[in-house]
Copies of this chain bind each other. A is one copy, B any other.
Amino acid sequence: MEKLKKYVSVKDEDHFYHQGAVELLIFNFLLILTILTIWLFKNHRFRFLHETGGAMLYGLVMGLIIRYVTKSPDVESGTVYECEKLKSGPSTLLINITNQVYEYQYKREISHHNVNGHQGNAMLQKMTFDPSIFFNILLPPIIFHAGYSLKKRHFFRNLGSILTYAFLGTAISCIVIGLIMYGFVKAMVHIGQLKPWEFHFTDCLFFGSLMSATDPVTVLAIFHELNVDTDLYTLLFGESVLNDAVAIVLTHSISIYSPKENPNAFDAAAFFQSVGNFLGIFAGSFAMGSSYAVVTALISFMHLTKFTKLCEFPMLETGLFFLLSWSAFLSAEAAGLTGIVAVLFCGVTQAHYTYNNLSADSKMRTKQLFEFMNFLAENVIFCYMGLALFTFQNHIFNPLFIFGALVAVFVARASNIYPLSFLLNLGRKQKIPRNFQHMMMFSGLRGAIAFALAIRDTGSQPKQMMFTTALLIVFSTVWVFGGGTTPMLTWLQIRVGVDPDEDLKAKAASQSTSNLDKNTTKAESAWLFRIWYGFDHKYLKPLLTHAGPPLTSTLPEWCSPVARLLTSPSAYGDQLKDGDTDYIINNDELTENYESSAHIPVPAQDSTASIQTTGKEDIQEGDLGLGGYKLQLQHTAGQPQKNSLA
């Protein structure tokens, strides 16, 4: 008896500690393969399959192998045990089996029709990891990195358009997909493929909101490699970053929307509650994220007489930066807000304020750390998507629904981009040309966020159908549109090989010649932005960073004691080169420091080095250090006048 027990405990221990090693090893293997493939592609300048497409492909093959090669059915799972004593599912359950007490942890609720699906093999179950891992571990570094590496100069130039596409566009997209899907669902009910009570209009809207998160990572990587027109790049990047945040909050709000009576009828109270929810969650998450960043900026800025500054200890600085940014995510989650949105705005704010206070070493450390985490997380997600097609056990392939979704996604993208571009062009000095609109339409790829939102809930049959459909749409868009980006650029005659700094100067010059007063520059940005910029430049930047004019000169006279206390000694030195002569150029300061210090860790005052910028930006945007490549599409690059915005 004693011996037997010992044996059992050893066996259990072995099972316990090697648990997960094989599965993680499979992921490592897939990632290693992906990296080697990227290396191969980079060597052959092969742009028809992006690394994420490759990762997905490897995942697919591995999923196929796991599915059909390993077959070890777990007999016990699949049997449902009755428990009359319990009223609801407790978080832990102690069960006495043949005189041994085992502890079981609550995993999830499953609907009755899925019980048989559980009779699959154990390996498949192990490879299917917890969806919360996507939200809590894999997405935050990706989103933070997007915020942290945002090219603010170009972003703010196009702020209005980006916000329009992100907020209004996503809402349009969500509603259009929802309506089209509702039509298809009605048709499916009509031909008997679906029961009427299974799929409500809110479910269609839910699907619409999750399918509205675009993720043109493939397209952006190619844009970046080819130095496509910066405005197009910024519009697309800015839209995709903000649109993720909007789609996530929208999905959450729709899942909360519960009309009192008939779920298909419109309930105004519930609707406005959802809208309020959306705004509340978005604003709350925004506030949470930026306040953590402000705290980080304040700590790293702290300059007490008795203290060595934190930037003397790069490791502590990096650690604090990392932990506070992660805390922004966690606090938002813990407070019932959306962590992803918080971490996005935390990233933007960190780049805007904290980055200025960091030591040169920490600037590099943080950039490289987040770049690396982004790279790994992105490839893990795409590998997993490939795997999920075969390892996920409850797929429901419904051809009509899939077809409907494909149609809906394209119609929705079109009714997002074209009408909004038309409206925006009414107000913009620099119009968004037709070919840019086509390219944006073409770049409506779906990726990580749509997948993560879809896998979050796969408990019921409609949700499983949505998940399968979302997965297939991700596959097809990434492979077809991702692969078709380069031909499409050629076909649409979009400028490539643009130096972003030269471009900006050229545009600014052409504007100032046509219209000499400052109003042109201002007209580009909304009035709200100008007020914000002034406030930021005069008060926030001096308070939180070493940049900007000293507070003593910006604050009113009677505040001068406070101002002197809060102003960093180094700020006085900057006073000469400062002034409010040109919003855009001042706005560039951070970005330029950023870029040059990413390349060379030493001082960064060479704002004239426009020739080097291409090489620098390669590193900044995390394209794996692909520096000095010749452009393949020289003939398109040869027609800059034709396609330029001026």
Contact = CB atoms under 8 A, between A and B. Distances in A.
Nearest to A100: B109
A642 interface: no
Contacts of A369: 368-369, 372
A407 interface: no
Contacts of A327: 25, 28-29, 32
Give how many copies assemble into the complex: 2
Interface stretch (A310-318, A420-428, A604-612): A310-318
A369 B31 CA distance: 18
A268 interface: no
Given A256-B10, A316-B35, A28 B330 contact: yes
A419 interface: no
A16 B92 contact: no
A318 B372 contact: yes
Interface string A77-110: 1111111011111111111111011111111111
B100 A74 contact: no
Contacts of A101: 80, 109-112, 115
Nearest to A332: B21
A624 B25 contact: no
B103 A18 contact: no
B107 A28 contact: no
A186 interface: no
Given A107-B105, A310-B39, A330-B28, A78 B91 contact: no
A632 interface: no
A379 to B, nearest CB: 8
Nearest to A304: B43
A21 B91 contact: no
Contact of A315 (B96, B105, B263, B625): B625
B108 A80 contact: no
A205 to B, nearest CB: 14
A149 to B, nearest CB: 13
26 contacts: A3-B263, A6-B258, A10-B258, A12-B109, A13-B255, A14-B336, A17-B135, A20-B136, A21-B330, A28-B327, A36-B299, A39-B307, A43-B306, A76-B93, A77-B90, A81-B96, A83-B95, A86-B98, A87-B97, A100-B109, A312-B627, A315-B372, A315-B625, A319-B376, A322-B372, A365-B368
